[in-house]
Amino acid sequence: MTTRSTRSPRRRTVVALAVVLAVLAGFIVRLVDIQVVNADDHIADSMEVALGASRTLYGTRGEIVDESGQTLAGSILLYDGVLDPKNVGPLTREDDDGERVVVPWKDVAAEIGVITGQTADEVQKIVADALAEDPDSQFAYLRRGLTTEQYRALVDIGAPFLTFDQHPARTYPDGAVAGNLVGFMGTDGDPLAGIEKSQNDCLLAANGTLTFQKGKDGVVIPGTEQQQPAVDGGTLQLTINRDLQWYLQQLIGEQVQDMAAQSGSVMVVEVETGKIRAAAEYPTVDPNNVDASEDADRGSRLFRDWFEPGSTFKALTAATVIDAGGQSPTSTVTVSGDETFANGARVTDSFSHPAYLYTLAGVLIDSSNAGISRFSETVGAETRVDYLTRFGIGQGSAIGFEGEQVGLLYPASEWDNQTLYNTAYGQGLTTTVPELVGAYDAIANDGVRMPLSIVESCTKADGTVVTPTLPEPTRVISESTSAQVRQMLENVFLQANYNTEVEIPGYRIAGKTGTGEKSDGNGGYKRGVYYTTLIGFAPAEDPKYLVVVTLDEPTTVTSSAANAPAFQKAMTQVLKTYRVMPATTAPTLLPKFG
Amino acid sequence: MSAVAQTAAISAPARSWTPRLRAVEEPSRRRRPKLIYGVVALVGALTIGAAQMALSILTTQSSYELSTLTQEARQLTWQKQILYDDVAGLSSPQYLAANASALGMVIAESPSYLRLSDGALLGAGQAALGATSVDAIGRAAVPNALITDTPLVTAPKATIEGAPVETAVADGGVANTPPPIADGLPTPSTH
C-alpha cells in the first residue's frame, strides 16, 4: 500500500542509503587501493619517511702484503668534519657545578682548532667564507681526513653544527718502502698509481647495506634488519721482500746523493723463478704523504724509463756469437783502441790501446767496444736481432706495470753501417731495466728466460687464491752457451779494474758494467754524463739472485764505477737475506789475451 | 503417496511382531560444567597472554641491550682504531733500523756461516769493523710520514729522520765485536 505520503520518506531513505553506500563504496575502494593495490609503495614510503633506516656497510679494501705477509698497504677509517655555517654559534654547556654557561663561538672555534691543528682564526674563516658565498650555507668542510682520535675529540665538544662523514682510507705502515711499486690512492678513494691501480680488481671491496626499522627512540625494532653484506677486497701478495726493499732504498738513496746523480734504482730478481724480490728507487714517494714528492718522483722510473744500455749488452752479443757464431770464450780477435771497419764504421774504446789479440773473455773484461764489434761480425745482423728479441729486448716484461716502457730495437734492415756495430755494445737501441734483467736471467738460468713477476697471488675474501698467468719461459741460448757466458762474466768481476770494489768475500759473483750514453734530444749524445748500470748475479757457480744497480747521470764519478759500491752492498744484503751459502769451489781464470 | 504413508505401507506386514516397548529412561540431569575447566582455560589464556607479553618485553629489553652493546662495540672499535693509528709505522723497517742504529748496531758486510756437521766456517770469517753499510739514522733516505715525529725507543731525543744520536765507538770500532776466529770454532763433542 504505497501512498504518496509513505512513498516520499521511503524514497528519501533509499536515496540516503544509496548515498551512504556510495560513500562507503568509495571508502572501500580507497581502502583496498591503499591496503592492497598500492600497499607496497606505501610501506616503502613509511620505511623511507618514518620507520626505516639504512646504513652503508663498508667493505674493506684488500691489503697489499709482501712475500712474508707483512702489510705494505692496509685500510683504516678516516673522517671528514663538516660544519653547518648557518647554524654555527655559541654552545651552552653545563659546568662542574651544574650551571649552564654559554661558550662563545670564538672559543669553540679555538677548541676545534686545537684538535684539528688549525688556528681559531682559520676555523672561523672557513665559516665566514662559506657564509659570504651563500648566507644560507649549511655545508663547509672543516677538515677532511681526520683520524679517529681527532674525530672522537671533536664529538666530545658537543657542537650540533659539526657533523662527520666516515670513509675508508688507506694507510701504508712502512711509508716509502715499496711506495714506488705499491702506488697510492686519491682522497676520494680512487687508486691513482702503481699496483693499487693496476691490481684494483683484486683489491676492490663491494659495499653492502643494512636496512632496519627504528622505534620512536631510535632503537632498532627486533627482526626488521635486512643485511646485504659487504664483500671485502682480496689480499694481494707481492713477491717483494720489504726488509730487503727498505735496505736497498736506503742504500740507493745514499748512493744517489754520494754520486750527485739524478736518480738511481736497484732491482733484485730470483733467477729460477723470475720473481722480483726488490725494486728500490730514489727519489721516490711516501704513499702516506704523496704531496711531499715531486710529480716526477711519484711513479716508478724503473718501469717508466728507457735508456741506451751500453756495455751490459756486450754479454748478450757474446752469448749470440757463442750460440750462433761458433765462438768460444778463448776465441780471439785483433783490435786496437780506435778501429775502422770495412763498411766505414768507426768504433773507439774508452781507453786508447795498440792492437791487442783479445780473447772474447778479454773483450768483456776490458769492455772493448772495438773487440765486441769485431766478434759481432761472426753472425749476421738478422741473427743478432733475432737473439736480442728472444732475450726480450724491446718486448717489455710480463709484469705490465702501470705505464711500463718498452725498449726500442729497430729491425736489422733499418740498421745503418754504424748502427750495425753500435748495437753490439748497447748503443743505437734502448731498453728498460726489466728487459735487461730478463735478458741476464736467461744467461744466469741455463739459457731459459723466466717471465718476471711482481704479484705472487690474490686471495679473495672467500678464500680462493688467484695466481697471475705468466707467459711460458723462453729458451734463448743453449745450456753450454749459458755456462760459458757465466764463466766469462765471473772473470769480468775477477779481472776488471773495479774488481776489488765489487768483491764479496767468500762468494763467487759475476756481472758486467754498462756506461750508456744519453741522448741530448737533438740527435747527439750528452757530453760527460751517462746512464750507468751494473748488473750481476751470485753465486756464479749456481746463480740464485740477479741484482742490477742503475744511476742516472752520476757526476762525482761519471762511469759505471759509481755503481760498484752500491752493487756490492746490495748483493751482500741479498745473499744474507736469503741465506745463500758461501762458495766452496774456486773460479776458473780465463786468459784476457790470446 | 506421501513418504510417511509409504513407510507405513511397507512396515504394515511386520505389524504381527509386537515391538518391545519400554519407557525412555529419564535423561540424567545435565550437570553443571565443572568450574575447574573454565578456570584452567582462563588461566591458560591468561598465561599465554602473559608469556607473550613477557617475551615481547624481553625482546624489546634485549633490543635495548643490543643497542647498548652495539654502542659499546662502536666505542671499542674507535678505541681500536685510535690504538692502531698510534702504533702504525712502528713496525716499519725504517723505525727498527733507526732504533738499532741509535744503539750502535751496524749492518755488517759479508756473512759467515758455521757448518754444524764438521764445525767448518764458511765465508770470509771477518768481524764487522764498526762501519755500517748504510746509515739508517744519520742519512735516512726512506721517509715514513706516519712516524716522522715519533721518537725512537732507544733514543727518545731522535726520530727516524732526526738528529743522529752519538754512539761512542771504541778505538778501531771493534769494541763490542768478538775477535775473528783464526782456527775454527771449538765444536761440542756429542755422543
Domain boundaries of chain B, sorted by first residue: 36-87, 93-181
Same structural domain, A462 and A345: yes
CB contact under 8 A, A507 and B88: no
Has residue A233 been placed in a domain?
Answer: no
Question: By the CB < 8 Å criterion, does A265 face chain B?
Answer: no
Has residue A40 been placed in a domain?
Answer: no
Same structural domain, A260 and A159: no
Lowest mean pLDDT among A55-59, A150-154, B76-80, B100-104: A55-59
Has residue A176 been placed in a domain?
Answer: no
Distances (CA, A) of B119 to A547, A580, A581, B41, B115: 31, 18, 15, 93, 5
Has residue A162 been placed in a domain?
Answer: yes
Q: Indicate the DSSP class of residue A35.
A: I
Same structural domain, A298 and A436: yes
CB contact under 8 A, A221 and B133: no
Same structural domain, A137 and A257: no
Distances (CA, A) of A497 to A95, A191, A500: 81, 47, 8
Has residue A484 been placed in a domain?
Answer: yes
What does the pLDDT read at residue A140? 87
Same structural domain, A109 and A252: no
Cis bond upstream, residue A287 (ω within 30):
no
Question: By the CB < 8 Å criterion, does A145 face chain B?
Answer: no
Q: What is the pLDDT of residues A336-369, one digit of tens each?
A: 999 999 999 999 998 999 999 999 999 999 999 9
CB A522 within 8 A of CB A514: no
Has residue A230 been placed in a domain?
Answer: no
Average pLDDT of chain A? 90
Least Cα distance to A493 among A581, A357, A370, A367 occurs for A367
**Nearest-CA distance from A171 to chain B in Å?**
8
Cβ under 8 Å to B: A residues 479-538: 504-507
What does the pLDDT read at residue A420? 93
Q: What is the pLDDT of residues B105-116, one digit of tens each?
A: 888 777 888 888
Q: Chain B interface, mutation test: which of A250, A254, A297, A578, most B Cβ atoms within 10 Å?
A: A250
Q: What is the pLDDT of residues A283-298, one digit of tens each?
A: 999 998 888 888 888 8
- Residues in A closer than 8 angstroms to B125, CB to CB, are 506
**Nearest-CA distance from A581 to chain B in Å?**
7
- Residues in B closer than 8 angstroms to A264, CB to CB, are none
| Count of the separate structural domains present in chain A | 2
Answer with the one of A146, A171, A196 that is the final residue of a domain: A171
CATH code of A340's domain:
3.40.710.10
Has residue A297 been placed in a domain?
Answer: yes
Residue A362 C-alpha cell reads as 778479454
Please name the residue that has the C-alpha cell 720489504.
A242
Same structural domain, A378 and A473: yes
CB contact under 8 A, A76 and B82: no
CB A452 within 8 A of CB A397: yes
Has residue A253 been placed in a domain?
Answer: yes
Is it the case that residue B40 has pLDDT exceeding 50?
yes
CB contact under 8 A, B112 and A148: no
Q: Chain A interface, mutation test: which of B142, B159, B161, most A Cβ atoms within 10 Å?
A: B142
Buried b (16+ CB within 10 A) or exposed e, A148-183: bbbbbbbeeeebebbbbeebbbbbbbbbbbbbbbbb
DSSP element (H, E) containing A474: strand A474-475
- Specify the 3-state DSSP secondary structure of B136: coil
Edge-to-edge strands, sheet with A545-552 = A276-282, A263-270, A545-552, A525-538, A510-519
Same structural domain, A147 and A266: no
- Residues in B closer than 8 angstroms to A242, CB to CB, are 93
Is it the case that residue B182 has pLDDT exceeding 60?
no
What does the pLDDT read at residue A16? 93
What does the pLDDT read at residue A261? 93
Mean pLDDT score, A444-463:
94
What does the pLDDT read at residue A39? 84
Phi, psi (5° rounding) for residue A65? -120, 160
Is it the case that residue A320 has pLDDT exceeding 90?
yes
Is it the case that residue B169 has pLDDT exceeding 70?
no
ipTM of the complex: 0.79
Domain extent at residue A261 = 242-577
C-alpha span between B42 and B49 (Å, rounded): 10
What does the pLDDT read at residue B183? 59
- Of B84, B113, B139, nearest to A582 by CB-CB distance is B113
Is it the case that residue B178 has pLDDT exceeding 60?
no
Pairing of strands A235-238, A64-65: parallel
Answer with the one of A150, A171, A192 that is the final residue of a domain: A171
Residue A513's contacts (CB-CB under 8 Å, 6 or more residues apart) are A311, A312, A367, A496, A498, A532, A533, A534, A559, A560, A561, A563, A564
Q: What is the pLDDT of residues A175-191, one digit of tens each?
A: 999 999 999 988 778 89
**Nearest-CA distance from A245 to chain B in Å?**
9
- Residues in A closer than 8 angstroms to B84, CB to CB, are 76
Least Cα distance to A444 among A510, A543, A583 occurs for A543
Buried b (16+ CB within 10 A) or exposed e, B142-172: bbbbbbbebebebbeebbbbbebbeeeeeee
**Nearest-CA distance from B80 to chain A in Å?**
9
Answer with the one of A155, A171, A187 that is the final residue of a domain: A171
Percent of chain B with pLDDT over 70: 72
What does the pLDDT read at residue B177? 42
